[in-house]
Structure 1
Amino acid sequence: MGFSGLEIARSGMHVNERALSVTGHNISNVNTKGYARQQAMITTGPYQDYMKYQIGLGASIQETRQIRHLFLDNIYRNENTSFGYWETRSKTFQEVQTILGDPMGDGLQNVLNQFWNAWQELSKEPDSLTARALVRQRQKLLCIK
């Protein structure tokens, strides 16, 4: 019973030391992008029965929680998901464009055009060995692409 006052003082100092640590953490991260401010949740500590009375034994920190705005967090998550979806689509379309429509003229689209043009020339002169060789060459290029 005699040391309960000292226990209350000790727990109070410990709780306030941890609360000041959380405050210092908040101050040091004030300019950090994406940082959520924190708060130390202080609660009463256990108590001790003494005759007809109950004597408290100080305070404790129940948890350290982030202070966040739920509505804004939900909007952020939804928009971030949407951004990821559109970013993936954009990258996929860029890859397809690289394969099909290369601005340098050596993509699949250009090779397909040359292949069909060679067939068009062969249809005009079916007996031409040059046209046949051209179709064969364009076919090989198409297979390589």
Structure 2
Amino acid sequence: MTSNIFSILNTAKAGLLSQQLGIEVVGHNIANVQTEGFTRQEVNFSTARPRQTGLGLLGTGVRVDSITRDFDKFLFNQILGEGSSTGNFGVRSGLFKTIEILFNTTTGRNLSGDLDDLFLAFDDLAINPSGLAERTTVVANAETLTSNFNLLGKNLFQERINADLSVNDTVSEINLLLDEIASLNSSIHSIETGLSPANDLRDKRDLA
């Protein structure tokens, strides 16, 4: 009889502790509702191992199997893929816009116009080969075109330097993130090897 009472009390105690843990996890979710990168957690319950009695197996209540994140890995991988593509297109778009501005193909003066002026000057010179004004115009337009080519070359070279610096900065940021992820992975492995969940650390790793 005493054994039965203890068994009942233990079952009730296990149930209360399990529900208390569930309430604590709910509180943790509520407290972090505005936390960037936080993933809602849930407690996974299962029926405790039954006890053999003279009348057969007798249930012994509930137990907590695990605390997991409400996490859609497929969706997360899709978001990562889209983010990578968007970032790639953004970088290319920025470079193309800069080059377009340098070539000035959409507004104001451009190399095409300088070439047209030079060809027109040569046409005029062909009509009047001995004309001083025509010769002067050809020389002036050729100098203008050469100057603009040189300026464009310098600007493109500077943009290449800027792009290289940007890549170096990005590589440095990536290396820092990789170091952070490696540290988080080590902590996650250490914690979960002891059969404890490392859900918050996994959130930090995903956010990185």
Tell me which interval the TM-score lies in, with the shorter structure as reference length.
Answer: 0.5 to 0.7
Identity of aligned residues (%): 19
| Residues 9 and 58, structure 1, Cα contact 8 Å, conserved in 2 | yes
For residue 108 of structure 1, the aligned residue among 100, 103, 106 is 103
Letter in 2 for 1:116: L
User: Could you state the TM-score of these two structures normalised by the residue count of structure 1?
Assistant: 0.59
1:59-78 superposed matches below 5 A: 59-64=62-67
| Residues 118 and 135, structure 1, Cα contact 8 Å, conserved in 2 | no
Structure 2 runs not aligned, ≥5 long: 130-134, 157-208
* 2:97 alignment partner in structure 1: 97
Q: In structure 2, how many angstroms separate the alpha carbons of the residues matched to 1:135 and 1:9?
A: 91
What count of residue pairs does the alignment treat as equivalent?
133
Q: In structure 1, how many angstroms separate the alpha carbons of the residues matched to 2:152 and 2:91?
A: 25
How far is 1:39 from its partner? Answer: 3.8
User: Could you state the TM-score of these two structures normalised by the residue count of structure 2?
Assistant: 0.45
Q: In structure 2, how many angstroms separate the alpha carbons of the residues matched to 1:119 and 1:142?
A: 18
Q: In structure 1, how many angstroms separate the alpha carbons of the residues matched to 2:100 and 2:110?
A: 9
Q: In structure 2, how many angstroms separate the alpha carbons of the residues matched to 1:142 and 1:125?
A: 28
1:23-102 superposed matches below 5 A: 23-32=26-35, 37-64=40-67, 81=82, 89=89, 92-101=92-101
Structure 1 runs not aligned, ≥5 long: 102-106
- Decide which structure has greater strand share: 1
- Decide which structure has greater helix share: 2
Alpha-carbon RMSD across the aligned residues, in angstroms, is 4.0
